[in-house]
Amino acid sequence: MSRATLTIDTGAIAANWRALDARSAAQVETGAVVKADAYGLGAARVAKALASIGVRSFFVALAEEGTELRATLGPKPMIGVFSGHMAGDAALIGEHTLTPMLNSPEQVQRHFAHLPGHPFGIQLDSGMNRLGIEPADWTGLRQAVMQARPDLIMSHLACADEADHPMNARQLAAFRDLTNGLGVARSLAATGGILLGADYHFDLTRPGIGLYGGAPFQDASDVVRLSLPVIQARALSPGETVGYGNSWQAARPSRIATVAAGYADGLIRAMSGRATLWAGQVPCPLVGRVSMDLITVDITDLPETPESLDILGPAQGVDALAEAAGTIGYEILTGLGRRYARRYEAAA
Ligand SMILES: *Cc1c(COP(=O)(O)O)cnc(C)c1O
């Protein structure tokens, strides 16, 4: 079989949620962000595992993601939608009991007009200038919104992965100014915000990447292993080249393994000549260009040709691979290909 295997440890995801939950006080609720198919790892499996250990609030980006999640989780958990109430979504939001985080005066109007009495949250812009009601608009809307009793008021931090960044304190102060004294549950922290400490926790936290083993949560348990089958191996003489564009040339007698995954599977082309695969603890450099379905790997230093090589696993996590490719762990995870055979285990 040339299909690569992506092993996802839902026990490690549960352990990461518990570890992040332990970073905030007992009265602070810890939610879970499962947008983009739980960062590529499978929203249904991940959300079920998290619900089974007591997670009560989930977040997605789009209403459509929320409807699938509702079918998975049943009626009880809160499912928040970061993009809010978009035109045409009233039926989805209403029938599946989603909680849109309203982002603009238009969304507030739309929600009150189409779904009066239906649960909602408010997303405020505290300085990131991406999603959320602007402070000037909030002043005018606040009274009507508070009369309709929102379930949550939230905002999002732009620089939380840098603990010393002055933007964190600025956004904290802005969020407090906009929300102090309202008597509504508040949420400011994603993974990075949880690690910034108690001032940032408010009533509910919203971790995503930390659950899936990524930075900035340095103490996370490994969640994914990606094993790529070796299709064939060959001996090269010095001076022979490998792959498109002849971009790598053997400097010594070499053995090159051709391995079954490529940029169509999320191993982005920027990894060409830069990433490392692993045979247990032995590093094997990716050589030549990444092509659509294949990569080529220098296995000269291995005693024999392995059946497979790992590109994610205990020897190399998502952040290490991301660094080699000039990106971030989030992009590596959400790019994980649809062709991989996903295997779930609950080791922890
Ligand atoms: C994606 C997202 C999160 C989760 O962020 P992580 O950095 O993955 O923990 C939380 N809140 C909002 C608004 C988001 O868009």
State the pLDDT at residue 221. 95
Q: SS3 of 124, please?
A: strand
Write down the CATH number for the domain with range 224-345.
Answer: 2.40.37.10
Ligand 1: nearest atom to the Cα of 207: 9
* Nearest of 316, 279, 318, 317 to residue 299 by alpha carbon: 279
Instruction: Name the fold adopted by 10-212.
Output: TIM Barrel (3.20.20)
Taking a C-beta distance cutoff of 8 angstroms, is the pair 231, 259 a contact?
yes
Q: SS3 of 62, please?
A: coil
Taking a C-beta distance cutoff of 8 angstroms, is the pair 108, 102 a contact?
yes
Out of 20, 33, 126, 200, give the residue to mutate to test ligand 1, the one with the largest number of ligand atoms within 8 Å of its CB. 33
Ligand 1: nearest atom to the Cα of 209: 8
* Nearest of 20, 65, 29 to residue 47 by alpha carbon: 65
State the pLDDT at residue 1. 81
Question: With a threshold of 0.95, does the pTM exceed it?
Answer: yes
Please report, for the chain, how many H helices and E strands are present, in that order: 11, 19
Cα distance between residue 300 and residue 248, in whole Å: 14
Max Cα distance, the chain (Å): 77
Structure tokens at 197: 């400490």
Over the chain (348 residues), the average pLDDT of each successive run of 10 is: 95 98 98 98 98 98 98 98 98 98 98 98 98 98 98 98 98 98 98 98 98 96 97 98 97 98 98 97 98 98 98 96 97 97 86
* Nearest of 283, 285, 231 to residue 261 by alpha carbon: 231
Active-site choice (35, 39, 330, 340)? 35
Residues of the chain with CATH 2.40.37.10: 224-345
* Nearest of 341, 337, 339, 321 to residue 329 by alpha carbon: 321
Taking a C-beta distance cutoff of 8 angstroms, is the pair 171, 158 a contact?
yes
* Nearest of 67, 64, 54 to residue 14 by alpha carbon: 54
Cα distance between residue 106 and residue 116, in whole Å: 15
Residues of the chain with CATH 3.20.20.10: 10-212
Residues in the chain: 348
State the pLDDT at residue 346. 87
Place of tokens 């053995």: 255
Place of tokens 């239906």: 118
Backbone torsions φ then ψ of 20, nearest 5 degrees: -70, -40
Please report, as a single letter, which amino acid is at residue 19. A
Please state the three-class secondary structure of 311-333 as a single string: EEECCECHHHHHHHHCCCHHHHH
- Residue ranges lining ligand 1, Cβ < 6 Å: 33, 35, 82, 156, 190-192, 206-210
